[in-house]
Structure 1
Amino acid sequence: MLALGLCLVFLAVSGAGAFPEALAAKNISQKEAEFDKTYTDAVNSELLNIYTFNHTVIRNRTEGVRVTVNVLSEQKETPVLFVMRQKEAVVSFQVPLILRGLYQRKYLYQDVSRTLCQPQTKSELETQFFYVDVSTLSARNASYQLRVTRVENFVLRTNERFSFNATAAQPQYFKYMFPEGVDSVIVKVTSGMAFPCSVMSIQDILCPVYDLDNNVAFIGMYQTMTKKAAITVQKKDFPSNSFYVVVVVKTEDQACGGSLHYYPLSTDEPVDEGSRQKALDVVVSPAITATVYIRATLFCLGIFLSFYLLTLFIACWETWRFLWCLAGHPHITPDSLLGHPPYDGYGHGYGSFGKHQGEAPVPRTHTGAGYRSLENMASRPRLDSLSSVEEDDYDTLADIESDKNVIRTKQYLSVADLARKDKRVLRKKYQIYFWNIATIAVFYALPVIQLVITYQTVVNVTGNQDICYYNFLCAHPLGNLSAFNNILSNLGYVLLGLLFLLIILQREISYNRALMRNDMQALECGIPKHFGLFYAMGTALMMEGLLSACYHVCPNYTNFQFDTSFMYMIAGLCMLKLYQKRHPDINASAYSAYACLAIVIFFSVVGVVFGKENTVFWIVFSIIHIIATLLLSTQLYYMGRWKLDSGIPRRILHVLYTDCVRQCSGPMYVDRMVLLVMGNIINWSLAAYGLVVRPNDFASYLLAIGICNLLLYFAFYIIMKLRSSERIKLIPLLCIICTSVVWGFALFFFFQGLSTWQKTPAESRQHNRDCILLSFFDDHDIWHFLSSIAMFGSFLVLLTLDDDLDCVQRDKIYVF
């Protein structure tokens, strides 16, 4: 019997990786030990203690066994080694327990408590033995206390909250078994205290269990946490239909956003475990079923497909009403059906055109400079070629009258003055917007998709759920995707963007048919129809949905630009389209426009990576912002008829001297000056705000600049339209009202802030909240729904805003 005991000691010591010198122990003390009894003993280099425990294991009942030790003597150089030998597993640790933190700092723990894993048994009843071996290399006696207890409530119950305490040297883990009919559960761990930082891990039923700070990331899925952590666990990933929920307190708090100096710097002092203890609660509840997935998907499709049906219904209704009125009322003309007033006298009352107010309408037979008949307009020759008129020398009066420099310096311009280029040239110019953005989309989307697939694969393989910033309390996996609901909710951008492209295609087909019929109304009336920018806007909306979905596959610090790049493009394209309506000849080319947007995206990336608390960056950005605002203001005010060269300071001084010093004269273009002054005030204020406050989310700050400028220009456009005695028809008016309301609700849900990659993953999870719609969608998903509808409505406003001018001659439509 003694020989058998010596063999077991030899196997235990060598299997536990103990020091070879332990084999030289002369005295071995073996005791039959009991549960729930504290043993106070001592060991030295000549003595090895063995405690023998036995307990009965029932196959359908699981209970945990926990070993707690406390070394009373300070043995820093010669620690006490504890080895637990059990069926299928050996667990060993030394006391003081040494855990390492940042910069290889060592933390010593005197009180250590570990839970032994539960080996599987095939018998109904089985008596299992396990041994606790205690040894040391110290020549002096090392006193310790040993206590082994059974863990009550070791198996977690569904929807029942369980409370416990944990430290870095006293981790806790519990077992959960999937009940019948449950294929997925969500494990939630909460705490009333943010620090100390901790880790929640989900591991398969294997021995040993990785439950220390330095090995908890070796297996399974894990999250750092302050007050909240949640992991959705699927039954298919665990062959035993059960798993361990492991909670470990970290030695330091940097991973959760805490500071380093809070903890002892000396490696010779033991850690005060009382200050590193954390009270936690764990609850496991069933996740949503397949029925909820189907219902949510049908709900999402139903919302956006209803817009297709509504569009089709309105188109059929308008067509039927038009044909019925023409057939039943021959005296009604198409102009009166569309609600347009007669040509004569239209456009009076514009505030800046005071000399026209009160004048009598000019007969249609009048062919003076102000008003010309459709026949005269159709028969006049084109004075420009297929390309823009260059700045050459002119000898004849006719050449001077056709020169764009002379025309654009008129105080009061009409659309006809800025719609002089050949339609084919402009059509090709604006179609480039669509082809360029389509090319950008392909080359942008392909590496993005590849990258996010890699991210998702890394998350699934490593189990590190700190890589992606989800709302874990409402993240519903599907297949390899961790948050399918955030991806599904982006479907609206794609479907509504496609619908907008179909609407534009229908309008373009109708317009081209009118041109083929030589319809005078299409040729010489209304705002010139150019559809290239509209196609680009629809494509950008679809790409916003695709890239937002890619971003939400794994939202984090390194791929934020996927979600914002096409937002910048949408804002820029909308401003370009507004400007193009009244300035078709002098709008920016696609190349320069996309180059400017590329610069914006470049600053967005640089600002996020280097801008935080970087004074130099904010100074440089603010200066560039102000200079760009001034240059754009000059471009808009003079309609492109100025040059940026070495002589510009002299010309600026000359203008200031003649207009401000020599004689005080007001600006020649009052309306444009009002817009640009307001724009400069807003942009200078935003630049000052960024320089002083330095917002953490630079991408959102930059997007806010674009949106503020777009809203300012849009408001100016509507005000000037009404001042010009133009009117807003019913459909665009309804679109403006409904879109404004939807934007208001959308922004409310956007600012809920369920997660943020500007903080640590653990801090981000403090903002996580439960689903609020169909138990499937959260606040950010609703933002996706509402913002896609609002963008689609905004595009419709731009498309239909000037429909009231379709029967008005272009030389009677004012430019502003």
Structure 2
Amino acid sequence: MVKQWWPILFIIYNVQGINITSIVIDQQVASYTEAVTYEINATYQVVLFYPTIETPNPFRVKAWSPDAQANLPVLVVVQQESSVTSWQVPLMVETSRRDYVLKFSNTSKTMCHDQMDSIVNPDFSTGDLTVAQRFIVGLSTSSPHTVSISIEMEEEKDFYVELDKSYSVSVSPSEPRYVFYKFLEDAPDIVIVDVDSEDDICLVVSVQDSRCPVFDTNKDIKYEGVYQTINLKGALTITRKDFDPGFFLIFVAKPDNADCTEGSSYLPRLETNFHLSTQNITTSITFKIRPTVTRREYIIATIGTLVTLGAIGIILTILSLVLNRFGTISKSDKDEPPVYDCFEPLSEFAIQDLLKKDILTVNYLARQPRRIRKRSYNYLSHILSIAVFYSIPVVQLGVTYQRIINASGNEDMCYFNFLCAHPGLGFSDFNHIFSNIGYVIFGILFNFVVIDRYTIIKIRKTKGIPVHYGLYHAMGVALIIEGLLSACYHICPSQSNYQFGNVRSTNEVNISNSTMFQIQALCT
């Protein structure tokens, strides 16, 4: 067994200038049920042999040292059948400040089971399931002074979690934790992982596929799977098609709260020094994997929303059609003569006649009502031009954001309400995208009502200026575009696309103001 460690020892101690022939390697057989403590230095190291054990549960290796120094740490190397894992004690964790590193004397890591593939996808055609595993733990240091190091093996008995059952774990930046969930045949295809923390320590929650190794450190947790940062509460929606037949659920505590605050903002900000604790950071987490809405429930909710909005819109449309045909305005228009545009200038007599009137209203000055009506459609053409040239890049950017989320797994890019975000049609939060369908439905119906009103109620000159039907059409189109752009915003709500819906809202306000002025003129 010494030959397996010879290359590592040669590199470590040859660099330090120590005669490798003077190194004493103490080989011992260790027990899984008790913690052991050793005194090691640059010339004395320990190799622990843990015998083969039959269990599907992985083991957690705990290592701590009260007197090891950061410049001369204790190197812990755990060898398994098909992998090697190493770390140092004390563990130095980088913070958001480049000039500050936190030191953790207590460390622990969960060893991914050697037979994880066989456990997740058992094949009994080749014989009985083998769940055997063994460990070789090497302890070494370059310190010339004696350093105390303690090692303990702990079986993770709650490693395989179940649906609709709460679990609690404690994590720190030097002691990450992870568990495994398997999609059973009768289990739902989509589940939600609810995470609750007792304090506001920043955490990274990651979901990775069932293959080893597991990325469970602050440096590499973002290299695999889907992840997000949380403080007090968070949720991840996981689908079977993305993580079949199961997934690892990893929890890692951050050394400070920079990633969970405005420190991770894309906008320019003033330099902020976040509070850094000099003590070991430990937080308790409670999580639960629960089923989300089923496909049938999703379809029922979608159709129900369409039916409800459609029914309301149809009722209002019928009411408007009735008022157009039997209302006060339609009745008053029947006896009025047709209105034509007048292109000839007023004579002196006509001008004097207007000036002698006791009440002078706007309708006396509206000499070209049909031309004014046609010019009102400029509002519609302008709003359509703006909508086309603004919507194309908005749609492209929204789809690009969704593709980046799918490729990188970084759910911090978007400000989703993860507790009620339900994926669908390739989107992470389809239900909030679909919630804007009301804008589109009522915008279409509004334009239909305007067309009917224009057909029934002709141009009149009893009072006010001619009706600007193009202005009303522009309002309807703006409402439709508002729904489309708001849906694009909800593809990935963030600081960089917040203006998608606001720009159209501004246009709607301007058009509404113009409409109110026109209505006021009609009633003058």
Asked if 1:272 is matched to 2:279, the reply is yes
Compared CA separation, residues 262 and 103, structure 1 to 2 (3 A): closer
How do 1:391-470 residues align onto structure 2 when only pairs under 5 Å count? 397-398=348-349, 401=352, 413-418=360-365, 420-470=366-416
Q: Percent identity?
A: 30
Shift of 1:235: 0.8
SS across alignment from 2:503: helix
Shift of 1:113: 1.0
SS across alignment from 1:53: strand
SS across alignment from 1:486: helix
TM-score after normalising by structure 2:
0.87
Contact residue 340 and residue 368 of structure 2 kept, 8 A: no
How do 1:534-553 residues align onto structure 2 when only pairs under 5 Å count? 534-553=472-491
- The superposition leaves residues 637-671 of structure 1 with CA deviations (integer Å, 9 ceiling, x where unpaired) of xxxxxxxxxxxxxxxxxxxxxxxxxxxxxxxxxxx
- The superposition leaves residues 556-615 of structure 1 with CA deviations (integer Å, 9 ceiling, x where unpaired) of 1111111211112112211101112344xxxxxxxxxxxxxxxxxxxxxxxxxxxxxxxx
How do 1:742-757 residues align onto structure 2 when only pairs under 5 Å count? none
Contact residue 436 and residue 484 of structure 2 kept, 8 A: yes
How do 1:299-310 residues align onto structure 2 when only pairs under 5 Å count? 299-310=304-315
Compared CA separation, residues 309 and 263, structure 1 to 2 (3 A): closer
Asked if 1:180 is matched to 2:174, the reply is no
Match of 2:49 in 1: 52
Shift of 1:399: 8.2
Asked if 1:35 is matched to 2:32, the reply is yes
1 CA distance for matches of 2:131 and 2:190? 31
- The superposition leaves residues 19-58 of structure 1 with CA deviations (integer Å, 9 ceiling, x where unpaired) of 7648936221111111131111022222221111134345
Contact residue 361 and residue 464 of structure 2 kept, 8 A: no
Asked if 1:262 is matched to 2:290, the reply is no
SS across alignment from 1:158: coil
Compared CA separation, residues 81 and 814, structure 1 to 2 (3 A): closer
Compared CA separation, residues 525 and 397, structure 1 to 2 (3 A): closer
Shift of 1:413: 4.3
Match of 1:77 in 2: 71
Instruction: Output the aligned Cα RMSD.
Output: 3.1
- The superposition leaves residues 239-265 of structure 1 with CA deviations (integer Å, 9 ceiling, x where unpaired) of 3x111111111011122238745326x
How do 1:227-242 residues align onto structure 2 when only pairs under 5 Å count? 227-239=232-244, 241-242=245-246
Contact residue 62 and residue 152 of structure 2 kept, 8 A: yes
1 CA distance for matches of 2:454 and 2:193? 55
Shift of 1:471: 0.7
- The superposition leaves residues 714-757 of structure 1 with CA deviations (integer Å, 9 ceiling, x where unpaired) of xxxxxxxxxxxxxxxxxxxxxxxxxxxxxxxxxxxxxxxxxxxx
2 CA distance for matches of 1:10 and 1:203? 34
How do 1:194-593 residues align onto structure 2 when only pairs under 5 Å count? 194=200, 196-239=201-244, 241-257=245-261, 260-263=273-276, 271-273=278-280, 276-310=281-315, 313-314=318-319, 384=345, 397-398=348-349, 401=352, 413-418=360-365, 420-511=366-457, 514=458, 522=460, 524=462, 528-583=466-521
Question: Residue 110 of structure 1: which of 105, 110, 123 is its match?
Answer: 105
SS across alignment from 2:513: helix
2 CA distance for matches of 1:378 and 1:262? 76
2 CA distance for matches of 1:441 and 1:145? 67
- The superposition leaves residues 461-493 of structure 1 with CA deviations (integer Å, 9 ceiling, x where unpaired) of 111111000110000001420000001111111
Compared CA separation, residues 422 and 165, structure 1 to 2 (3 A): same
Q: Which has the higher Rg, Structure 1 or Structure 2?
A: 1
2 CA distance for matches of 1:549 and 1:272? 46
Contact residue 77 and residue 85 of structure 2 kept, 8 A: yes
Compared CA separation, residues 490 and 402, structure 1 to 2 (3 A): farther
Contact residue 483 and residue 552 of structure 1 kept, 8 A: yes
1 CA distance for matches of 2:234 and 2:85? 28
Shift of 1:177: 1.0
The gaps in structure 2 that reach 5 residues or longer are 123-127, 263-271
Contact residue 171 and residue 283 of structure 2 kept, 8 A: yes
Contact residue 208 and residue 225 of structure 2 kept, 8 A: yes
Name the aligned partner's letter for residue 432 of structure 2: N
Compared CA separation, residues 238 and 399, structure 1 to 2 (3 A): same
Compared CA separation, residues 317 and 253, structure 1 to 2 (3 A): closer
Contact residue 321 and residue 449 of structure 2 kept, 8 A: no
1 CA distance for matches of 2:352 and 2:157? 97
1 CA distance for matches of 2:406 and 2:24? 51
The gaps in structure 1 that reach 5 residues or longer are 265-270, 323-333, 344-373, 386-395, 516-521, 584-812
Question: Residue 189 of structure 1: which of 188, 192, 195 is its match?
Answer: 195
Shift of 1:103: 3.0
Name the aligned partner's letter for residue 380 of structure 2: F
Name the aligned partner's letter for residue 283 of structure 2: K
Contact residue 65 and residue 106 of structure 2 kept, 8 A: yes
Contact residue 56 and residue 125 of structure 1 kept, 8 A: no
- The superposition leaves residues 246-300 of structure 1 with CA deviations (integer Å, 9 ceiling, x where unpaired) of 1111011122238745326xxxxxx411xx1111101001121110111011012
Match of 1:367 in 2: none
Match of 2:3 in 1: 7
Name the aligned partner's letter for residue 6 of structure 2: F
- The superposition leaves residues 75-113 of structure 1 with CA deviations (integer Å, 9 ceiling, x where unpaired) of 222111001111222111011111111232211111111
- Flag the structure with higher strand content: 2
Contact residue 494 and residue 543 of structure 1 kept, 8 A: yes
Query: What is the number of equivalent residue pairs in this alignment?
Result: 500
Question: Residue 149 of structure 2: which of 130, 137, 144 is its match?
Answer: 144
Compared CA separation, residues 448 and 380, structure 1 to 2 (3 A): closer
2 CA distance for matches of 1:162 and 1:139? 44
Shift of 1:315: 7.0
Shift of 1:380: 11
Shift of 1:7: 2.1
SS across alignment from 1:224: strand
